[in-house]
Amino acid sequence: MKELIENSEEQLKDIYYQIEKVEEYNSFKVLEAFKKNNLSEIHFNMTTGYGYDDIGRDTIEKIYADIFQAEDALVRSQFISGSHALTVALFGLLRPGDIMLSITGTPYDTLHEVIGIKENSSSLKSFGISYEQIDLENDEFNYSKIEEALTAKKIKLIEIQRSKGYSTRKSITLEKLEKVIQLIKKVSPDTIIMIDNCYCEFVGKKEPIELGADIVVGSLIKNLGAGIAPNGAYIVGKKDLVHLCSERLNLPGEAKEVGPSLGMNKSILQGLFMAPSVVASSLKTAVLTSKVLEDLGYQVDPTYQEERADIVQSIIFNNKEDLIHYVQGIQDGSPIDSNAIPEPWDMPGYDDQVIMASGSFTQGSSIELSCDGPIRPPYIAYQQGGLTYTYGKLGLLKAIERLKHE
């Protein structure tokens, strides 16, 4: 197996070089934002209680706004996950009688009860907010149906999930995203365009605000936390929209003025500083996984030659046993709980049983090498992360050894 990996690496040098060029570009972007905002050691100080006058927290949000080219940002450890931040954004921006439209099909499983796809007495649906969706067609936006929906009804908010989630579709590239945003702005300029950016930050040279999106949401235990931020999430975008989200997270009248940093500022900043390099390591790990598993006869998405929109690598096993063995192999190659053997279980927020390998320093961190998948046909493993390329490669080696020896 080592020889197979070494041969693959030799063939992937040109792709790795392109990843490194993007890493360099985004590293410069981060450094310039730190410098512009005069980041100093004093910004590492913490606040407690209400969190009034937290200059570190406020500086972090200015840095995020600059990196994303947004008017404002809300970056808080009070968010427990990307799904939580998305929920805050939806409840902050939508009102009873409004219509939310997803144009990338069904959103990620953890949002089903939030929206009301699955019944819950606290859902958007229970507050009189309607949900509609338009599926992708052969991995492309259905432009005619989107235009028809925007013309026929007053759509308050369009949600676009860039990463595939637990689906078999492809993730949304920047080129496709820009094209559909232009259409929406032309047909219905007042409709809010909200992007679920989880797993996608720093994969390319641009972020969705630069393409015309109004509000963008992501997690700090994914790309931008770089395995250093212990929790949190962000919302960036137009100032008035970010304000509404902050009033939903905190309370009307206090908005962004409150929220103690509790000693998290340094970790959030250090994670952001390292993020371009860690994302590059994750991408190299994903490309190598794609090449090696394809050579072993498995179907993969994306293939190693394809343009990537996120750090997620799918492996389609078409049987339950191979999926379980591969995920167990990733756990065996993890630094934490490598002695644990994952089994499928009823994970909160998911419709099917899920098997998950996450031997990570931060619970649930998917910028660290992790792998999971729902126990349902076609039995797909969704692998992501890799804090360093070397550790990612070693984790892959453990996984394919277990897969082939079981």
Asked whether the bond before 344 is cis by omega within 30 degrees of 0, the reply is: no
What was the pLDDT predicted at 406? 62
pLDDT digits (tens, 9 = 90+) for 268-296: 999 999 999 999 999 999 999 999 999 99
357-371: pLDDT as tens digits: 989 999 989 999 999
N residues, the chain: 406
pTM of this structure: 0.96
Model confidence over 99-117: pLDDT tens digits? 999 999 999 989 999 999 9
Domain 2-24+273-405, CATH number (from 3.90.1150.60, 3.40.50.720, 3.40.50.11600, 3.30.70.920): 3.90.1150.60
Q: What is d(CA 283, CA 273) in angstroms, rounded to the nearest whole number? A: 17
pLDDT of residue 25: 98
**Which H or E run contains 100?**
strand 99-102
| pLDDT, position 122 | 97
- β-strands 215-219, 130-133 pairing: unpaired
Of 110, 362, 86, 370, the closest CA to residue 233 belongs to 86
**Per-residue exposure over 10-46, b if at least 16 CB sit within 10 Å of its own CB, e if not:** eebeebeeebeebbeebbebbeebbeebebeeebbee
pLDDT in tens, 13-55: 999 999 999 999 999 999 999 999 999 999 999 999 999 999 9
To the nearest 10 degrees (0 to 180), the angle between helices 239-249 and 82-93 is 110
Q: What is the pLDDT of residue 183?
A: 98
Nearest to 279 by CA among 178, 209, 384, 371: 384
Integer Cα distance of 297 and 20 in angstroms: 28
Going from N- to C-terminal start, the domains of the chain cover 2-24+273-405, 45-271
For the domain with range 45-271, which CATH number is right: 3.20.10.10, 3.30.200.20, 3.40.640.10, 3.40.50.300?
3.40.640.10
Tell me the pairing of strands 380-384 and 370-374.
Answer: antiparallel
Instruction: Kindly give the parts of the chain with pLDDT less than 50.
Output: none
Q: Rounded to 5 degrees, what angle do the CA atoms 309, 149, 155 make?
A: 85
DSSP state of 171: P
Beta strands (DSSP E) in 138-208 are 157-161, 192-196
